[in-house]
Amino acid sequence: MILLDGKKTSADIKEEIALEVRELKNKGNKAPHLAAIIVGNDGASITYVNAKVKACERVGFESTLIRLPNETSEEDLLNEIAILNIDNDIDGFIVQLPLPKHINEQKVIMAIDPNKDVDGFHPTNVGKMALNLPTFISATPFGILELLDRYNVETSGKHVVVLGRSHIVGSPMSILLSQKRKVGNATVTMCHSRTKNLKEITLQADIIVAAIGIPEFLKADMVKDNVTVIDVGITRLADSSRKNGFRLVGDVAFNEVSKKAAFITPVPGGVGPMTIAMLLKNTLLACQRKAK
Sorted by where each starts, the structural domains of the chain and their CATH numbers stand as: 27-113 (3.40.50.10860), 139-272 (3.40.50.720)
pLDDT band, residue 288 (cuts 50/70/90): very high
pLDDT for the residue 249: 92
Q: 206 catalytic, yes or no?
A: no
CA–CA distance, 191 with 164 (Å, rounded to integer): 6
Query: What strands, in cross-sheet order, belong to the sheet with 159-163?
Result: 2-3, 261-264, 227-231, 207-210, 159-163, 187-191
pLDDT for the residue 245: 80
pLDDT for the residue 47: 85
Q: 119 catalytic, yes or no?
A: yes
One of 5, 14, 91, 96 is an active-site residue; which one?
96
Residue 168 pLDDT exceeds 90: yes
pLDDT band, residue 158 (cuts 50/70/90): very high
One of 5, 91, 117, 119 is an active-site residue; which one?
119
Q: 96 catalytic, yes or no?
A: yes
Residue 122 pLDDT exceeds 80: yes
Per the DSSP assignment, residues forming a β-bridge with 159 are: 187
Measured between alpha carbons, how far is residue 200 from residues 155, 222, 246, 264 in Å?
21, 8, 33, 20
**Percent of the chain beyond pLDDT 90?**
89
Residue 71 pLDDT exceeds 90: yes
Residue 292 pLDDT exceeds 80: no
Burial class (CB in 10 A: 0-12, 13-18, 19+), 256: middle
Q: pLDDT tens digit string along 208-240?
A: 999 999 999 999 999 999 999 999 999 888 888
Question: CB within 8 A of 178, min separation 6: which ones?
Answer: 160, 184, 185, 186, 187, 188
